[in-house]
Amino acid sequence: MSSTGTKVAKAAGIIMVAMVLSRILGYVRDVVIYTNFGQNNLTDAYNAAFSIPDFLYYLLIGGALSSAFIPVFSGYIATNKEEDGWRVASTIFNIVIILMLVGIMLGMIFAPALIRILVPGFSPENMALTVKMTRIMFLQTFFMALNGISMGILHSYQRFLAPAAGAVLYNLGIILVGVFLLPYLGPELGIIGFAIGVVVGAVLNFAVQLPALLKIGLRYQFIFDLKHPGVRKIGALILPVLIGLSVTQFNLFVNQNLGSSLPSGMLSALRAAQRIMQLPIGVFAVAIAVAVFPTLTGHAARQEREQFKKTMSLGIRTIFFITIPAAMGLVALKTPIVRMLFQQGQFTPGDTSTTAYALLFYCLGLFAYSALQLLNRVFYALQDTLTPVAVGAFTILVNIALNFLLIKPLGHGGLALAYSLAGIINMFLLLFIFRSKVGSIDGRKILQSFVVTVGISLLMGLAAYQTSELMAMVVDIGTKTGQLLQVGSSIAVGVLVFGFLTVFLKMEEGELAKNILLRRFSKKR
């Protein structure tokens, strides 16, 4: 494996471990909520309120601050101009603190108007509960902004552990606080405890990064050097990056807006299905994209054109190689998986059916949204922020049109399908434009890898589905043990089939995937 591939595998490996833990805790959080409250107006209100901090978490932590900040800050570090780099970092840090304090105040004041836009179909009582939880969760945006800058600094120094651990503590904080407050707030208001937990989780997320910042030599200053070239460059980059990265979440807001007029619980069904679909994206695609990004910015800064394209191609092919079979597996096992994960307490078999129905359509776009995690960063590494914005704005319009077209014949499944189709269009447009800008991008190799991966994933999905049907006749799927045996054996068979076909066909993408999954960090790290 090349040195680039090794570096990416090391970085992605640790991010992936933390992402797995974070997603497991995210699942535990959802199980606790749905077991206690079911899929109804209370969970619809929580999910609507949580969509705003969740959006900011994705945007600020996954996103805009780090994506605009890393290319500039890394450039100073790479050229031994750390003093300038820290001056820029301190200025951005101070600006963000002021903007967030103002933003929180305005958000709390205008929360009712914001919620009316997001979920116009809610009843007045549900609207009031959503507003209350939204105001509580707005407090976490301050810490999320600080997390975004801290993550950008640590990633520039190739330090990935502390930011990744923060995501784990974020979900842990939500669970512990929500469970602790549940007996005190009662069944009707207990959901508010989980809103408070969101704030506590954000504080923990930032706190865990402080020791790592001190270790690399934190040089914070209370300055506002607005004329510094680095500050101006970040300022020019960040707005388009914000818009570009918000496209995915904005499409979900559109779905949420229309979904609020559907029968009670449909919004929660969409949310639960979308979270399952996001699992491979968060664990694999984000890990690879975040790990590749500093390497891409380095190649771009040194004008290493061919290395840049090879790194991009390797990243895209590896993301396809991992997420296409994941999507196929979720489609094949959608009902057994939802049943195993959520069907208990107040979560009924009917809730399982509505969630599995939405999951089917969400999975069709899983590979595209996974690839977008890297493709957006490819353009940001080249300091081209306008292209993702323009393409994103177009696909938002496409998503809105598809929503209105598909919601009537397919219900909440139509909203999920519209979301998937918009992501696929977004991905293909960015690939086409990138090729127009830089020339050949190993397009034939990427296409060949995609087709082969789809082919063997179909065989894998068929094997998993048949195993699931067989196990349903052998075990009692009404029990958690039976459900676990059904899903576990089906996944095991699917993985074995996919692995065998990968080795048999000698697929190159398997090498990086294997290293990401198995490689350990060196003792130095």
- Per-block average pLDDT, block size 10, for the chain (525 residues)? 53 66 81 82 84 66 63 78 86 85 86 85 87 90 82 77 82 91 83 92 90 85 87 78 65 73 78 85 76 76 79 84 92 92 83 92 93 86 80 86 90 90 93 83 82 93 94 89 92 92 77 56 38
Considering the domain architecture, whether residues 20 and 136 belong to the same structural domain is answered as yes
Considering the domain architecture, whether residues 166 and 284 belong to the same structural domain is answered as no
Considering the domain architecture, whether residues 194 and 337 belong to the same structural domain is answered as no
Give the residue among 337, 315, 282 at the shortest CA–CA distance from 20.
Answer: 282
Compute the distance between CA of residue 81 and CA of residue 78 in angstroms, rounded to an integer. Answer: 8
The answer to the question of residue 247 being in a domain is: no
Q: Which domain holds residue 99?
A: 1-33+40-149+158-242
Phi first, then psi: give them for residue 457, nearest 5 degrees.
Answer: -70, -35
The answer to the question of residue 256 being in a domain is: no
Which tokens sit at 237?
């980059």
Q: Which pairs count as long-range contacts for 483-488, CB under 8 Å and 24+ apart, including other chains?
A: 483/336, 483/339, 483/340, 483/343, 484/340, 486/336, 486/340, 487/333, 487/336, 487/337, 487/340
Give the residue among 78, 81, 191 at the shortest CA–CA distance from 133.
Answer: 191
Considering the domain architecture, whether residues 186 and 333 belong to the same structural domain is answered as no
Considering the domain architecture, whether residues 266 and 216 belong to the same structural domain is answered as no
The answer to the question of residue 255 being in a domain is: no
Considering the domain architecture, whether residues 425 and 318 belong to the same structural domain is answered as yes
Considering the domain architecture, whether residues 180 and 289 belong to the same structural domain is answered as no
Cα angle 468, 469, 474 (rounded to 5 degrees) comes to 90
Considering the domain architecture, whether residues 281 and 213 belong to the same structural domain is answered as no
The answer to the question of residue 249 being in a domain is: no
The answer to the question of residue 505 being in a domain is: yes
Compute the distance between CA of residue 323 and CA of residue 374 in angstroms, rounded to an integer. Answer: 13
Q: What is the 3-state secondary structure (H, E, C) of 430-455?
A: HHHHHHHHHCCCCHHHHHHHHHHHHH
Considering the domain architecture, whether residues 29 and 81 belong to the same structural domain is answered as yes
C-beta of residue 60 within 8 angstroms of C-beta of residue 93: no
**Confidence (pLDDT) at 496:** 93
Q: One-letter amino acid identity for 126?
A: N
Q: Hey, is 448 helix, strand or coil? A: helix
The answer to the question of residue 319 being in a domain is: yes
Compute the distance between CA of residue 464 and CA of residue 327 in angstroms, rounded to an integer. Answer: 12
C-beta of residue 422 within 8 angstroms of C-beta of residue 251: yes
The answer to the question of residue 94 being in a domain is: yes
Q: Is 384 exposed, middle or buried (0-12, 13-18, 19+ CB in 10 A)?
A: middle
**Confidence (pLDDT) at 249:** 67
Angle between helices 229-259 and 111-118 (to 10 degrees): 60
The answer to the question of residue 64 being in a domain is: yes
Look up residue 228 and give its DSSP letter: -
**Confidence (pLDDT) at 520:** 38
**Confidence (pLDDT) at 237:** 73
Compute the distance between CA of residue 405 and CA of residue 125 in angstroms, rounded to an integer. Answer: 30
Considering the domain architecture, whether residues 198 and 316 belong to the same structural domain is answered as no
Q: Count how many domains the chain has.
A: 2
For the question of whether the overall pTM of this predicted structure is more than 0.75, the answer is no
Give the residue among 327, 309, 311 at the shortest CA–CA distance from 369.
Answer: 327
Considering the domain architecture, whether residues 205 and 97 belong to the same structural domain is answered as yes
Considering the domain architecture, whether residues 267 and 365 belong to the same structural domain is answered as yes
